[in-house]
């Protein structure tokens, strides 16, 4: 029986497509933005050339204004909807020569470069690679702070649930109830490939497609989107990833002698951290929540995203201590420790669904982010528990896309949820097993 590390490496090898890695055969047959970031971390441990190629391939999809799309369509495939013809990114005068989507995903690339730096045994070589891509990643941050922060608060907005990464978190239900959508004819493939009860509903997909149709009418013009999009949200996970990536670009920029860029990043960073704490931290819930810019209201719900600011060093020690309570005989762990960590949505909420995509199941990338965050604040024992639970899932069921949080229900299952042989589950397992940091 091959070791877990060997099994994980095999998943990445099988999903490798010449210059990049698909997240999952059939279900996600192109290159996805934040998937590729986590995948590059996995590759860095076993094949640094592939890690570099992963990053370079993603940047091929960068737009003229620095925007980095959530999907790059390097190849053709008939197994995914909505494909390039639905996104029609060519409608924008900013789009590149290659086919891409016109929405983005959490900006992980900055901190991924720093991970590559730490993992590499040849610091000179990796630093000269980072030098070749640094400016492109900086331009992406510049795009966010100049086009996606209309009130100049240091917090950027997302305009589509797919930009959040947490596609169907119950938080979006409160956005959907603010507008009506026509009945689009959908051509879903996902529900034919895996158990439809684990995926978003058709009604939700009507909203997803409607937003894209609006953006197309506006030729993906950011000013028009900021003015008219019914979905305009400051999301705690998205902003935490940007802040963590700012921090990494500052560290790497200093090594590379990029003085002006470092000064600009430091300016963004200070404002961003301040606004995260003054605007998105919810004292009564003890965690970071969402702000609906379109309807000027806080959406006070706890999800696994609420704890991701730990990785970026955003909370004070006191806030971190309060947040940790949720994982120790609390809301997320269950009072009697009934749950594996970390459910993607508040298990005590009426909207929690332990099987449905981002409405409750455990995701490995969020576990990895929270694990890193807890370590950063010195909660070593709790971080080790998250690592242990994560490895347990991989050993018991394999590299699935998401997992059941309830320990009791797990006893009745023989697999995880969603797609199998999922790249970031494998890549981050390699990191958890190998990384000394």
Catalytic residues: 167, 401
**Interactions with ligand DGY, residue window 135-164 (CB under 6 A):** 162
Q: Which is nearer to ligand DGY, 20 or 281 (CB)?
A: 20
Residue 254 CB, nearest approach to ligand DGY (Å): 35
Residue 332 CB, nearest approach to ligand DGY (Å): 23
- CB atoms < 10 A from the CB of 251, how many? 17
Residue 362 CB, nearest approach to ligand DGY (Å): 16
Q: Which is nearer to ligand DGY, 198 or 387 (CB)?
A: 198
Number of residues counted as binding ligand DGY (CB under 6 A): 3
> Which residue is listed with tokens 């990384």?
435
Does residue 63 touch ligand DGY according to CB under 6 A? no
The pair of structure tokens assigned to 387 is: 């690592």
Does residue 356 touch ligand DGY according to CB under 6 A? no
Residue 201 CB, nearest approach to ligand DGY (Å): 13
Q: Which is nearer to ligand DGY, 7 or 206 (CB)?
A: 206
The pair phi, psi for residue 261, each rounded to 5°, is: -65, -40
Q: Which is nearer to ligand DGY, 111 or 357 (CB)?
A: 357
Using CB positions, name the residue nearest to ligand DGY: 162
Q: Which residues have CB under 8 Å from 347's CB, separation 6+?
A: 331, 332, 334, 339, 354, 360, 405
Q: Which is nearer to ligand DGY, 101 or 239 (CB)?
A: 101
Residue 124 CB, nearest approach to ligand DGY (Å): 37
Q: Which is nearer to ligand DGY, 27 or 48 (CB)?
A: 27
The pair of structure tokens assigned to 160 is: 């589509």
Residue 15 CB, nearest approach to ligand DGY (Å): 16
Does residue 167 touch ligand DGY according to CB under 6 A? yes
Among 50, 70, 141, 331, binds ligand DGY (CB under 6 A): 70
Q: Can you give the binding site for ligand DGY, defined by CB under 6 A?
A: 70, 162, 167
């Amino acid at each position: 029986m091959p070791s877990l590390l060997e099994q994980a490496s095999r998943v990445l090898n099988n999903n490798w497509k010449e210059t990049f890695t698909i997240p999952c055969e059939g279900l996600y047959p192109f290159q996805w933005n934040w998937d590729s970031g986590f995948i590059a971390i996995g590759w860095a441990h076993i094949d640094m050339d592939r890690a570099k190629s992963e990053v370079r391939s993603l940047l091929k999809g960068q737009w003229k204004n620095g925007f980095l799309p959530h999907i790059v369509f390097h190849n053709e495939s008939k197994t995914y909807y909505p494909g390039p013809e639905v996104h029609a990114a060519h409608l924008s005068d900013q789009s590149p020569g290659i086919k891409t989507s016109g929405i983005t995903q959490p900006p992980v690339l900055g901190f991924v470069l720093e991970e590559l730096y730490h993992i590499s045994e040849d610091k000179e070589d990796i630093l000269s690679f980072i030098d070749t891509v640094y400016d492109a990643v900086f331009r992406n941050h510049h795009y966010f702070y100049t086009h996606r922060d209309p009130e100049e608060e240091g917090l950027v907005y997302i305009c589509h649930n797919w930009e959040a990464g947490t596609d169907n978190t119950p938080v979006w239900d409160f956005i959907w109830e603010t507008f009506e959508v026509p009945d689009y004819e959908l051509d879903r493939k996902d529900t034919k490939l895996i158990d439809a009860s684990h995926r978003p509903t058709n009604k939700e997909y009507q909203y997803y497609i409607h937003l894209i149709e609006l953006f197309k009418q506006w030729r993906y013009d950011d000013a028009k989107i900021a003015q008219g999009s019914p979905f305009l949200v400051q999301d705690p996970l998205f902003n935490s990833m940007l802040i963590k990536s700012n921090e990494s670009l500052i560290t790497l920029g200093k090594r590379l002698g990029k003085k002006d860029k470092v000064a600009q990043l430091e300016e963004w960073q200070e404002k961003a951290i301040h606004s995260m704490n003054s605007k998105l931290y919810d004292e009564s819930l003890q965690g970071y929540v969402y702000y609906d810019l379109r309807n000027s209201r806080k959406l006070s719900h706890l999800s696994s995203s609420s704890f991701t600011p730990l990785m970026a060093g955003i909370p004070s020690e006191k806030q971190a201590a309060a947040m940790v309570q949720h994982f120790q005989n609390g809301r997320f762990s269950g009072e009697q420790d009934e749950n594996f960590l970390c459910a993607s949505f508040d298990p005590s909420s009426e909207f929690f669904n332990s099987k449905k995509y981002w409405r409750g199941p455990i995701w490995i990338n969020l576990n990895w982010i929270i694990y890193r965050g807890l370590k950063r604040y010195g909660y070593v024992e709790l971080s080790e528990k998250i690592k242990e639970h994560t490895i347990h899932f991989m050993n018991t069921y394999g590299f699935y896309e998401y997992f059941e949080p309830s320990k009791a229900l797990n006893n009745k299952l023989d697999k995880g949820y969603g797609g199998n042989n999922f790249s970031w589950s494998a890549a981050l397992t390699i990191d958890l097993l190998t990384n000394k940091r």
